[in-house]
Amino acid sequence: MSIVSALQSFVSEYVDYYQNNQQPLVIQYDKNWPSPCYQQNGEQDEWVNWRPILQTAPASFEHFEQALDLKMDEQLKQYYTCFWSDNLNANTERGNLQLLMPWNEEDFERLQKNLVAHVLMKRRLGQEETLFFAITDEDDFIVSVHNQSGKVMLEQVGLEPKETLAESLEEFIQQLSPRI
């Protein structure tokens, strides 16, 4: 299975989980924050249905890589360029987290800026480069991919990661279960 297949499987399980628990996927409509994820148009701040949507023309990390002179881990590039989606709630053996997902192209640009800031911080601190993809319920802890090894790490912001959660992003995604 590839990271794309693992992510597609999780997203399908996520949507089914909400339907099976009679919890619609809803979000407040924002006409100034368009997304292909909206399943209907609405009035400003009205709750509307949404769902993760495959990116038909995947976004690109080319400028990100050029700006940092960095070859980004391929599995993470595929992760962020697979779906347009709101963040996805998940459970792991270690606790709850939210998978960060780009909602639209503008959000993808903002995500890249945050990743640039993260890499620059890691360089300034003399630490190995990681790239985050999830936040946890614990303050200041993120889940990231070690850019050189591809391992998924639990990382306290500003510190070197100390715990390996999975050998790959694909393996990590396969361990997740959806949560409301």
12 assigned to some structural domain: no
Contact assessment for residue 83 and residue 54, using Cβ atoms and an 8 Å cutoff:
yes
116 assigned to some structural domain: yes
The helix or strand, by DSSP H or E, that contains position 180, with its residue range, turns out to be none
127 assigned to some structural domain: yes
| Domain span at 112 | 53-178
- Across the range 26-42, mean pLDDT stands at 94
**Could you tell me the CATH number of the domain that includes residue 138?**
3.40.1580.20
124 assigned to some structural domain: yes
Angle made by CA atoms 74, 54, 141, in degrees to the nearest 5 = 55
34 assigned to some structural domain: no
Strand partners of residue 4 = none
The 10s digit of each residue's pLDDT in 94-143 is 899 999 999 999 999 999 999 999 999 999 999 999 999 999 999 899 99
Using alpha carbons, list the distances in angstroms from residue 11 to 44, 54, 83, 161, 173.
27, 10, 9, 27, 10
pLDDT at residue 139, rounded to an integer: 87
Residue 78 burial (C-beta neighbours within 10 Å; 0-12, 13-18, 19+): middle
- In total, how many domains does the chain have? 1
167 assigned to some structural domain: yes
Residue 9 burial (C-beta neighbours within 10 Å; 0-12, 13-18, 19+): middle
- Across the range 48-58, mean pLDDT stands at 95
Contact assessment for residue 29 and residue 43, using Cβ atoms and an 8 Å cutoff:
yes
35 assigned to some structural domain: no
22 assigned to some structural domain: no
pLDDT at residue 19, rounded to an integer: 93
3 state SS for 7-61? HHHHHHHHHHHHHHCCCCCEEECCCCCCCCCECCCCCCCCEEEECCEECCCCCCC
pLDDT band at 41 (very low <50, low <70, confident <90, very high): confident
